[in-house]
Structure 1
Amino acid sequence: MVGPYRGLFSTPGAKGFVIAGFIGRMPMSMLGIGVVLLISALTGSYATAGAISATVSISYAVAAPLSGRLVDRYGQARVLVPLVLLHGAALVTLMLLAEYDAPLWTLFASGVVVGGAATSLGSMVRARWSHLLGRSARLHTAFSFESVADEVIFVAGPALVTGLTTLVNLYAGLILALVSTVVGTIAFALQRGTEPPVRPAGQQSGSPITIPGVALLSCVFLAMGSVFGSVDLTTVAFAEEHGAKAVSGLLLGAFASGSMVSGLWFGFRDWKITLRQRFVRGLAVFAVGLTPILLVGDTRIMAVVLFFAGLAISPTVITGYALVERLVPGHLLTEGMSWISTAVGFGVAIGAWAAGRLTDTFGPSNAYAFSFGCALLAVAIGIGGNTLLRTPELATTEARTTAS
């Protein structure tokens, strides 16, 4: 199983941008839960904590396609460095405002800048792989590896930030997120040898979101992001309700562990069915896997349930990015992938806000029903519009399959 992944790193420059990209995007699993833990501890309200976390996510979601377009036009290095420095300064401001009990609106204002200046570093890494490997079979393995790397981050990140926040200091988790994103992003940006070329001036018009398949994928990932955002917040409240708030990061880590394991397996296999068939089946398994989450009242059992619920995440995400890579012209690739990040960001914001309200009103166990409903919505959208995901390559493959 390791063989195909090891072969990726024979590509010149791959090790450097993969390691830097991994460090730089560590905060994607730490920032939201770090803000929730900090604000809920200071205000005693999960609704307020969810609202501020949602503000960060919405701001990021709005800005991600713009930063992706700027990267396509001016290159990764020229855009990433100033943005990550602004992001770091805004995150420091947010923590200082929280420390000195500033008016609540100032926390929301700083959250807007924190999210707006954040970058979709995962999209930048995938764009480098696409630039280096083209549409060879190794690109599937590369995207699978990056999805596994994302899940490693989602295993380690919540546990780290929760442990640091609850056992060391309220601000320790966010400080680690700050250092990781600034150091990793700058190190990534400075590696110019593997950077994709900028978009020619004559190819600036149009946006990938106008492509029907990309629009459909964005809607699906909006619903999936709502699952992620609501599960994150509800699980923290669930653990606290059962007197084990410090293990909330481990519960979320179990969710990501299932995705990590399935991602390794998914990337290793040589698939015969089409990308859109893989995508639809992954969505269906995702919804089925979340069903038991509504029935659990013990943290140990919840860890097992979350692990199995996470098994469908990586295959679905890997296939989604692969579909974008097929649907979007090369000179718009970074922006196209950023739209997936935008959709997930909006979904996380909706999920965090809704889960905060539902948790305060009905309790965390009942709030999980929202997560399950969003998973069903993702399946309905994906199945209902899956014909929009056909590309010329996919159409040819399907025709051959039918003929045989």
Structure 2
Amino acid sequence: MPNAAQPAAGYREAFAVPGSVAFYTAGWLGRLPRSTLSLGAVLLVAGETGRFSLAAMVAAVMVIGSAFIGPLWSRAMDRVGQRRVLAAGFAATLVSALALLGAVTAELPLWTWFVTALLLGASTVDIGSVTRARWSSLLPAGHDRHSAFSLESVADESVYVIGPPVVTLLAAAVSPVLGFAVGLTAGLAGMAALILLRSTTPAVHPVAAEVHAPSAGRFRLLAPLPPGIALLVPLFLGIGLVFGAVDLTAVGFADEEGVPAAAGLLLASFAVGSVVAALVFGLLRLRRALELRVGVAALAYAVVVPAVALMPSIGAASVALFAAGLVTAPLLISGMGLVESRVDRGRLTEALAWPSTAMSVGVTIGSALAGVLIDAAGGRAGFAVAVVGAIVAGVFGVVTLAAHRARSQRVARLTQGD
């Protein structure tokens, strides 16, 4: 049972940490490209060419670059420290973004658009893993980081509430170039602030698995996933499938209903539900094991999210999406907390980047599959992909809990045998 006697203490304790307000604010700004960069690229290319299919392909290449290279930035942070890697990421992002902007606006050959989009995606640093690693470093060992990770979930969701509408408005009212640039500029400002905030930067930990290896001291590009999170990666992939499908299907559904502007209502309902749930969930003092929280939250996710596909109208769908948002935040927070609890400190930043990477891949696949279904069967058909994603997340959440219980039983038997 949660302890009601100290409802908001967790947030007060988190922000009482010296420097936490500054790096949390910087981290929020640094996240904005996560919600605006692909959209800005779509609006930029579509605005210059009028070809949305080409714009979608350029954005997809960008996401692919981010998915394959993103965790390597985080892995490098664990090896050499956040500040050096953030500085390199800042420079790479700025140069590749200017290159993509120049290639599109100067009407260079199309292959240059795809190359620069790939480089821009590959230069993207996962800022959420940066700030979560700072919380883990600054909060005392054994301290409940539940509230801090809830705040991180609020940051993750709120950039999707604020960023895309601002970018879309600026692109339509002023210029697609401005729409592309505004989220990027805010992200670079956040990265610069994190570089300057030296006092909250985590210390570099030796990577235990590599200390005694023949290649110790060298950066290994193809090192395996950090132990203990293999079952959680497909869980976050399933969540990404839901996000990608909902984003595209909301547009198709609203357009089919004759009220295109209602797409914003649908997406806002989903995001607001998740933000509200994150804030409330972060107030709770939960005593149960993280594996149990993940299993229960995943099961709720698998039950609630599919209801969206059954809704007959925009109003009903917005209510269902709000409910879907309410079950999304507890799963994200508990899942991130479980990742943080399972990994060696020397690979923490990398481990925290894998959920974001899995969700990015899921978003790309989910939106692509939803687009195919919408073209074939109508505006609502894409919600079927969200149903599949929710079930995938639910299955792997329950499997994670089952694996934990089986492991606990084995340990108990061995203990009794001794």
Read off the aligned partner of 2:225 and give its amino acid letter.
I
Residue in structure 2 matching 1:333, options 334, 343, 348: 348
Find the aligned partners of 2:88 and 2:188 in 1 and give their Cα distance: 10
Equivalent residues of 1:54, 1:353 under 8 A apart: no
Matches within 5 A, 1:19-168: 19-39=25-45, 47-168=53-174
Following the alignment from structure 1 to structure 2, what is the Cα–Cα distance between the partners of residues 391 and 132? 33
Superposed displacement of residue 48, structure 1: 4.2
Label 1:36 to 1:195 Cα distance change in 2 as closer, same or farther (>3 A): same
Residue among 225, 228, 234 paired with 1:219: 234
1:177 aligns with 2:192: no
Distance in 2 of aligned mates of 1:159 and 1:214: 34
The aligned residue for residue 402 of structure 1 is none
Residue 165 of structure 1 aligns to which amino acid in structure 2? Answer: A
Cα distance between partner residues in 1 of 2:332 and 2:312: 29
Q: Which residue of 2 aligns with 1:254?
A: 269
Shift of 1:247: 5.0
Deviation at 1:170, TM superposition (A): 2.6
User: What is the Cα deviation at residue 53 of structure 1?
Assistant: 2.5
Check 1:378–1:45 CA distance in 2 against 1; reply closer, same or farther (3 A cut).
farther
Cα distance in structure 2, aligned partners of 1:307 and 1:195: 36
SS at match of 1:22: helix
SS of residue in 1 equivalent to 2:125: coil
Q: Deviations over 1:214-243 (max 9, x none)?
A: 011011111211221222223233334445
Partner of residue 200, structure 2: 194
Structure 1 residue 16 displacement after superposition: 1.3
Q: Which residue of the partner structure matches residue 280 of structure 1? A: 295
Aligned equivalent of 1:5 = 11
> How much has 1:384 moved relative to structure 2?
2.9
Aligned residue number for residue 225 of structure 2: 209
SS in 2 for 1:23: helix
Tell me the amino acid that sits aligned with residue 34 of structure 1: G
In structure 2, the CA distance between the partners of 1:148 and 1:71, relative to structure 1 (3 Å rule), is same
- CA distance in 2 between partners of 1:128 and 1:295 (Å): 42
- Give the distance between the partners of 1:102 and 1:199, measured in 2 at CA: 45
Taking structure 2 as the reference length, the TM-score comes to 0.86
> 2:273 matched to 1:267?
no
1:324 to 318, 322, 339: 339
TM-score (norm 1): 0.88
Output one character per residue of 1:2-38: Cα deviation in whole Å (capped at 9) or x when no partner. Answer: 4431231111111111111111112212223333444
Which AA in structure 2 matches 1:330? Answer: R
Number of the residue aligned with 2:251: 236
Q: Secondary structure at the match of 1:171?
A: helix
Amino acid at match of 1:289: V
Gaps of 5+ in 2: 1-6, 214-219, 414-418
Alignment RMSD: 2.8
Q: Could you say if the C-alpha distance between residues 135 and 225 of structure 1 is closer, same or farther in structure 2, counting changes exceeding 3 Å?
A: farther
Q: Which segment is superposed worse, 327-336 or 230-239?
A: 230-239
Instruction: Between 334-343 and 43-52, report the one with greater CA deviation.
Output: 43-52
Q: Which moved more, 1:19-28 or 1:165-174?
A: 165-174
Quote the Cα distance in structure 1 between the aligned partners of 2:17 and 2:10.
13
CA distance in 1 between partners of 2:159 and 2:303 (Å): 24
In the alignment, the residues of structure 2 paired with residue 157 and residue 292 of structure 1 have an alpha-carbon distance, to the nearest angstrom, of: 27
Q: Which of 136-145 and 173-182 deviates more?
A: 136-145
Deviates more, 1:200-209 or 1:162-171: 200-209
| Distance of 2:178 and 2:351 partners within structure 1 | 34
Compare 75-84 and 31-40 and name the one that shifted more.
31-40
Q: Distance in 1 between matches of 2:104 and 2:313?
A: 33
Q: Aligned pair count?
A: 397
- 66-75 or 98-107: which moved more? 98-107
The 3-state SS of whatever aligns with 1:200 is coil
* Distance verdict in 2 for CA 1:389–1:276, change over 3 Å: same
Q: Deviations over 1:221-275 (max 9, x none)?
A: 1121122122222323333444544553443222111111111111111113221
Any conservation in 2 of the 1:285–1:312 contact (CA below 8 Å)? Answer: yes
Verify the 8 A CA contact 2:41 2:58 in the aligned structure 1.
yes
Q: Give the Cα–Cα distance (whole angstroms) in 2 for the partners of residues 24 and 2 of structure 1.
A: 26
Change (3 A) 1:247 1:297: same
Unmatched segments (≥5 aa) in structure 1:
400-404
Distance (Å, rounded) in 1 between the aligned partners of 2:392 and 2:330: 18
Tell me the amino acid that sits aligned with residue 325 of structure 1: E
Structure number having the greater helix percentage:
1
Distance in 1, matches of 2:207 and 2:236, equals 31
Deviates more, 1:344-353 or 1:316-325: 344-353
Tell me if structure 1 keeps the 8 A contact 2:290–2:334. Answer: yes
Q: Which one is further off, 347-356 or 138-147?
A: 347-356
Q: Which moved more, 1:160-169 or 1:237-246?
A: 237-246
SS of residue paired to 2:61: helix
